[in-house]
A and B are shown apart, each in its own frame.
Chain A
Amino acid sequence: EAGVAQSPRYKIIEKRQSVAFWCNPISGHATLYWYQQILGQGPKLLIQFQNNGVVDDSQLPKDRFSAERLKGVDSTLKIQPAKLEDSAVYLCASSLVASTNYEQYFGPGTRLTVT
């Protein structure tokens, strides 16, 4: 079974530019998560989708971050405009259903550097 795919793996941009990340979850997984992992910290949930609906976006900086999951499969996370403090690894994860009984599977992440 193919894992969670993310692209690009690395991205370097200047502050105030925009950037987008793409995630393809494991086939059949209804729940998709985006996490932000700043260097030296644990992952922090940004947004959770159940199919194509948002379940939790309480920690998403909505003035600059946006995310969508069209058709309940692939997802994109966008930052516009980027700030220096957005430098982090952005992780996508998926699970069959939203429950502790079902493991979250993580992709390799996209490392963003904002200069």
Chain B
Amino acid sequence: GDSVTQMEGPVTLSEEAFLTINCTYTATGYPSLFWYVQYPGEGLQLLLKATKADDKGSNKGFEATYRKETTSFHLEKGSVQVSDSAVYFCALSSVYNTDKLIFGTGTRLQVFP
């Protein structure tokens, strides 16, 4: 079945460092791909998405590119802030059930001043 694999955390960075959180997927066809973020004490929020190969999703300085050839959707940010500390979830929606989200296990990011 469809699945998402994320790098384990926590990822610990100093403020202004470059961030990469790896995400790869297994799915039939070409699913839509998402990054969700969960700040402490809050619900999951959609951060960005891409719906077809080579699309780049971006929001709040974060970017991710849908790479069909490597079945990846890595999250990047050029300069992280303390306020970016949160748990990040990669997810996909199946070609055959387009609103059902399948999540990865999440990666905790801790940014220190």
Contact B106 A100 (CB under 8 A): no
Separation in Å of the B64 CB from the closest CB of chain A?
Answer: 16
- Chain A residues positioned under 8 Å from B32 (CB to CB): 100
Contact B99 A91 (CB under 8 A): no
Contact B43 A48 (CB under 8 A): no
Q: Chain A at the B interface: mostly helix, strand, loop or mixed? A: loop
Contact B99 A99 (CB under 8 A): yes
Question: Once the chains are docked, how many angstroms separate the CA of A100 from the CA of B97?
Answer: 9
Q: Chain B at the A interface: mostly helix, strand, loop or mixed? A: strand
A108 touches which one: B43, B98, B106 (CB < 8 A)? B43
Contact A56 B43 (CB under 8 A): no
Contact A42 B99 (CB under 8 A): no
Contact A42 B4 (CB under 8 A): yes
A100 and B41 in contact (CB under 8 A), knowing A40-B105, A42-B91?
no
* B-binding residues in A (CB < 8 A): 3-4, 31, 40-45, 48, 56, 91, 93, 95, 98-100, 102-109
Can you list 19 A-B pairs with a CB-CB distance of less than 8 A?
A3-B43, A40-B105, A40-B106, A41-B105, A42-B89, A42-B102, A44-B103, A45-B100, A48-B100, A56-B97, A91-B43, A91-B44, A93-B44, A95-B99, A98-B98, A103-B46, A104-B46, A104-B101, A106-B45
* A-binding residues in B (CB < 8 A): 4, 32, 36, 41-46, 49, 51, 89, 91, 93, 97-106
Q: Identify the 6 closest CB pairs spanning chains A and B, nearest first.
A: A42-B103, A106-B43, A106-B44, A98-B99, A100-B32, A100-B98
